[in-house]
A and B are shown apart, each in its own frame.
Chain A
């Protein structure tokens, strides 16, 4: 029983509690919509955090994987009549293979060069989606049919909330298990020092590739869900700005903290809606909030606050 109450399990239970409890206080479908977008962004960030926080690799191209998943679902279900789940799986497999093939050369790069490599990848995907208008509808985007599976159509904010909430909990659960496995410890060793890790027998490249592929596939899955939920997608999903937004969510929430990624996604998704009262000054306030957080909570929201609480408790005991 005791193992069930380890911090990570407690965190997962808390997350499940929040997801299950939110409907009690969400007043209408608009709030559900924001919650669903938080869930989708959080799923991407949980994967991206594995890469950034644990493997120490920067990706400025994750919006590209998200968009590839979205467009795979849109094109295969809309134009070719595939069942949505098959399209979702095909998108995930496609992105998995693509990221696997690209990971070998890209992950040999380090630091800024790695960031530039993934940035280039994201931009290429964005250009293709914009230019191949016959396939993707070009800059004006394309419609996506509803998500149908096992004879049911997922329709309405409540059903989508339940689905996205479930997907998020499962992704967090998988991620926590991965981090707590030998693979996770190897990853942290790689993050600490690649040479030292290699010296102790860790296959550095293999683990980097693995985590790159896992995070890309999670982004693709989230993209597919988003496409079906929104019913309409544009190449803006693959934009450089969107990739930056995803990285910012991870950094803001706290690198190497899975729940930090979830919190970061929630804050950055909710803020623009909460700040509409500032009208023309919205972006100004948004920027100020981000700067303030990064200056005063340097490790990110969750690790800094968790550290504060731990210190408070320790000094309380002493």
Chain B
């Protein structure tokens, strides 16, 4: 019986050691904190919602497989409601309050541009999910992005037109930043590609009928092809109006129309429309030896299994952003911000949903026109063109 007190002491000692040990491991395995600010609601919700779902799916998956460098990944998502002003406050919150190791987000170009000054001053690695080329041109030290730029899309389109012998192009563009940038790039690239812009029309925000502009385009002398620069709801309206007035020339749109809602909204009028898109859009039609086949298939399966809804290419931007950061953290061996930034910049042949990324100190996007495939709407779905 007299041994009992010492036994108690032994238990107490063990407990203290165990607690101390767990405290040490806990601090060693502090989670990797990733912050995201996305347009989950508001006018950009069709972009931000799949982005959020993609991040949540994959962070869960990564944690289920033991995390990164033995550390769990913690994801903090704020909804900007598609407001650039909110974006700035949420980014400050991510940096100051949540003390994140890297930031993913900025669904739209406006939300991204609004936070660049803050991110650069705070020196946090930042991967934007917005389209505008001005995000990474000129190159900013801490800012990267994953979606294709409108310039790449226009280049791809013009190559396809040229191959079909179409050289006289009419353009219609909307009021958004993406639309305007697409139009500007088309104007700048056309002469170099040997194309002529014979009509240049614009429509306003919230317009529900573009037949007047399309009628003027139809009247342009020698018109051989039509390009619509825009995204969201107007893409379907334009397709319907083109059919109504019988434009009668090949119809091109951009990757901004690369979602099923475009085809469904056009109610059959989207047939024959051509556009450049990420390979993800036509994952089943990709040849088995396509380098993105495995990644795209895995992404599609993971996303549809969890959310029971079709994928859009927009969620793919978030997939690429997440894994470019996580791979960089792995290579850097930790979350030292400067090292992670350097490693993101060294991203080399990363196979993602949007394409194969190779970044450099002068290229913070890392995609070229090879990352696009040309697709055509056929029988209410996408057909991969060769």
Contact = CB atoms under 8 A, between A and B. Distances in A.
Contacts of B176: 138-140
A130 B205 CA distance: 9
Interface in B78-95: 78-79, 83-86, 88-89, 92-93, 95
Interface stretch (A42-50, A80-88, A201-209, A230-238): A230-238
Given A230-B88, A276-B78, A143 B175 contact: no
Nearest to A27: B97
Interface string A228-266: 001111101100000000000000000000000000000
A30 B113 contact: no
Given A140-B176, A141-B84, A234 B93 contact: no
Interface of A: 28-31, 33-34, 37, 130-131, 133, 138-141, 143, 230-234, 236-237, 272-273, 276, 279-280, 282-283
A29 B92 contact: yes
Interface in B84-132: 84-86, 88-89, 92-93, 95-97, 108-110, 113-115, 117-118, 132
A231 B84 CA distance: 11
B141 interface: no
Nearest to B109: A140
A33 B92 contact: yes
Given A30-B92, A37-B89, A130-B175, 17 more contacts: A29-B95, A33-B88, A33-B96, A131-B175, A139-B175, A139-B177, A140-B113, A140-B177, A141-B113, A143-B117, A231-B88, A232-B84, A232-B88, A232-B114, A233-B84, A234-B85, A279-B77
A232 B41 contact: no
B180 interface: yes
Contacts of B177: 138-140
B204 interface: yes
Chain B contact residues: helix, strand, loop or mixed: helix
A230 B84 CA distance: 10
27 contacts: A28-B97, A29-B92, A30-B92, A30-B93, A31-B96, A31-B97, A33-B92, A33-B93, A138-B175, A139-B176, A140-B108, A141-B113, A230-B85, A230-B114, A231-B117, A232-B84, A232-B115, A234-B83, A234-B85, A234-B110, A272-B86, A273-B89, A273-B93, A276-B79, A279-B79, A282-B79, A283-B41
Contacts of A272: 86
The 7 closest A-B pairs by CB, nearest first: A140-B177, A30-B96, A232-B114, A28-B96, A140-B110, A234-B84, A29-B96
A134 B41 CA distance: 29
B381 to A, nearest CB: 30
Interface of B: 40-41, 77-79, 83-86, 88-89, 92-93, 95-97, 108-110, 113-115, 117-118, 132, 175-177, 180, 204-205
A56 B369 CA distance: 60
Contacts of B132: 140
Contacts of A236: 83-85
Nearest to A34: B89
Nearest to B114: A232
A44 B83 CA distance: 20
A232 B96 CA distance: 20
A37 B85 CA distance: 10
Contacts of A133: 175, 180
Q: Which of B41, B89, B180 has the most CB of A within 10 A?
A: B89
Contacts of A33: 88-89, 92-93, 96
A49 B179 CA distance: 40
Contacts of A282: 79
